[in-house]
Structure 1
Amino acid sequence: MANDTVLMSTASSVLEDVATSNDNDTGDFVFDVSANIWRYGWPPLCMTGLVGNTLVLLVLRRDGFVRTSANVYLSALAVGDSLVLMVASVAVYPGRAWGWWFVDTSRLACHVTWPVLHTIINASIWFIVAFTVERCVVVRFQLLKLRLCTPRNAGLCCGSLLVLAFVKNIDLFFVQDLVVDTDSDDAICTVPLCYRDYFKNYRPMINFVTSCVIPTGVVLVCNWAIISTLRRDLVQTTARDSIVRHTTVMCLAVSFAFIVCVVPAHVFHVIKPNWPMSLRNQDDVLRSLLLLRYANHAVNFFLYSLTGAQFRCELVALFRRCIQRGRVTADVVRRLMSRVTGSLHFRRQFQNDMEMRLE
């Protein structure tokens, strides 16, 4: 890929997830640090997130968890976070860490990769918003929760949010294409000049509003309503109230983690054209903030473990069951091996006896 090329990759300022051209011709220490952060920070982050989200799904499937609307949102969020990490491992990590972009390999990858990734990211963000709104209704509006907060409605809401996220990013399917750079003869996934102004000036603002401003505003308002209600109703009367409180605290932790991890990258991506920094330093800061944003898809398991008492109990029970099954399996294998060893020893002894008689 050519350095300082006029043709910007789709990862350029067009989208907050992609880089500009592959600037490897400099020995800038800051650039090396930002690239090394991705090289050595992403693999443990991705593996931790995938293992954690898998454990979340396994715990939510246990009999100790009743199928509620909250569990539907948590399951959808775990699946969405896992898909984000897996797709980003192919689409974002090689480019950020090593300068090799998957979108530049074929026309199909150019048309499909970024729409799929952004659809899953946007859907995951709005899953958090929907979960927060659901908790607000459960805590604050007791008369509405039985009618609105049902697993069926939660499933329909998640499906609708996924469709809306796809519609929001459908333009990425059609406006990108592979173009051969005249300077380097490399194929680059880029945006045509006729759409360049829209993707450079208008789409970042649309992303900022739909993925940052509105979700953050809804989350903050709902969290304020939840916290004020919980502070007013401190006395717990039933076990059901305790479960609702623990689930609500889990929701608060997830929503605040979203604000801390996701909002800075969106804000900086909007203000960076007017920020008094060099383009290289802006790109370095954005790289680090993007890695922080992806960390939001890997930390939920730890937040659930710290804030959810029932989640911790079911997680411990899951580990104990796995250990028990492992012991049973090891015992069966040991008995089987002893039988096989005994059978082989008997055969060898029988053969030796027959050879001695024949002699």
Structure 2
Amino acid sequence: MANDTALMSTTASVLEDIATSNDNNTGDFVSDVTANIWRYGWPPLCMMGLVGNTLVLLVLRRDGLVRTSANVYLSALAVGDSLVLMVASVAMYPGYGWGWWLDNTSTLACHATRPIHHTLVNASTWLIVAFTVERCVVVRFPLLKLRLCTPRNAGLCCGSLLVLAFVKNIDLFFMNAPVVNTGDTICIVPLQHRDYMYNYRPMIIFMTSCVIPASVVIVCNWAILRILRRDLMQTAVSDLIIRHTTVMCLAVSFAFVVCVVPVHVFYVIFPNWPMSLPNQYDALDSLVLLRYANHAVNFFLYSLAGAHFRCELVALFRHCGQLIHEPTGAVGRLASRVMGTFHTHQQFQNELEMY
């Protein structure tokens, strides 16, 4: 156990992280209520998200669904959400649920855990924004669709968003430092960086992770809904696949606003929130879990809102059912081919005997 100095350092680090980060641990402030919520809520949420995102990738890889810009964004979003859930399972879940934080284990973990995690979260957020903008262009400016909304441009956009998210969070590689005291490694913010972490980074996070993305999503969805309400089905919206994909985009955007925006707003009003400190941390940690739910529910949103996605999903399950009843492996395929050749030869002999 750390001595009083180490505990004070932990407390200072916790207060700094809560004020300046969106994906941090809360150290000794994790109450029994929060711990139980994470212990029993995270495993099914994470498993649901990983299985759902895998099914999304399998559906989007089917023939006829892999050469559109929308499916490039959806595939990238599924991969990004899966990576967020996997990294959070190592970096966040043990801390919230059991009090073991990965960034306190070594110097490398202290410097790398939060930048990697923030990069993946920010990239997933902006993939939703890019997908929403792409749908807005398709619906509102159909003449520009063939020139702008191409798989190549979508792939370039996804790569650029990942690079920009990394650049945005590269400062975290240098803003955290491990402190070793009586054998315990504690990841804290050094004194020379506290002004930046207290006064500047919180607003950068709030603007780039909440205000700007939410504003773009809301404006684009408003423009899409105006076109759909006018019933201008003679242009791009007349394509049923485009319409179904657009409805899926609306569902994803709605989930983003519901799940992600509350935790960022709470971070801003956290110092002035009229609640006791334990209740504040319980509410904050619950909202963080809600934020992670945004990375796990897209499969269900696609299934509910996308009729074409449901059809392809059913076709995928049927195809898997057929594979189960068919011979598998090289030996099985060879045996099936030999038996087929034998039956063909036998049928040919029978026809010769008839003549």
TM-score bracket for the superposition, by shorter chain length: 0.7 to 0.9
Tell me what 1:84 maps to. Answer: 84
More helix by share: 2
Shift of 1:19: 2.5
Is the 8 Å Cα contact of residues 118 and 169 (structure 2) preserved in structure 1? Answer: yes
- Segment of structure 1 superposing worse, 80-89 or 187-196: 187-196
Tell me what 1:179 maps to. Answer: 179
Q: Which runs of 5+ in 2 are unaligned?
A: 336-355
DSSP 3-state at the match of 1:65: coil
DSSP 3-state at the match of 1:71: helix
Shift of 1:171: 0.2
Shift of 1:240: 6.3
Tell me what 1:13 maps to. Answer: 19
Identical-residue share of aligned pairs (%): 72
Q: Distance in 1 between matches of 2:322 and 2:71?
A: 26
Shift of 1:201: 2.7
Q: Distance in 1 between matches of 2:237 and 2:97?
A: 49
Q: Deviations over 1:264-305 (max 9, x none)?
A: 000001110111222222111110000000000000000000
TM-score (ref. length: structure 2): 0.87
Is the 8 Å Cα contact of residues 119 and 169 (structure 2) preserved in structure 1? Answer: yes
Shift of 1:239: 9.7
Shift of 1:34: 1.6
Tell me what 2:158 maps to. Answer: 158
Q: Deviations over 1:227-253 (max 9, x none)?
A: 000111264789961111000000000
Tell me what 1:121 maps to. Answer: 121
Tell me what 1:44 maps to. Answer: 44
Tell me what 1:249 maps to. Answer: 247
Equivalent runs, 1:1-359 vs 2, <5 Å:
3=7, 5=9, 6-9=11-14, 11-23=17-29, 31-181=31-181, 185-233=183-231, 235=233, 241-329=239-327
Is the 8 Å Cα contact of residues 142 and 235 (structure 2) preserved in structure 1? Answer: no
Q: Distance in 1 between matches of 2:119 and 2:328?
A: 44
- Segment of structure 1 superposing worse, 320-329 or 155-164: 320-329
Is the 8 Å Cα contact of residues 3 and 23 (structure 1) preserved in structure 2? Answer: no
Letter in 1 for 2:27: S
Q: Deviations over 1:95-115 (max 9, x none)?
A: 011110011111111111110
Change (3 A) 1:235 1:207: same
How many residues are aligned here? 326
DSSP 3-state at the match of 1:8: helix
Is the 8 Å Cα contact of residues 112 and 173 (structure 2) preserved in structure 1? Answer: yes
Shift of 1:144: 1.1
Tell me what 1:353 maps to. Answer: none
TM-score (ref. length: structure 1): 0.86
- Segment of structure 1 superposing worse, 185-194 or 100-109: 185-194
Shift of 1:66: 4.7
Q: Which runs of 5+ in 1 are unaligned?
A: 25-30, 337-359
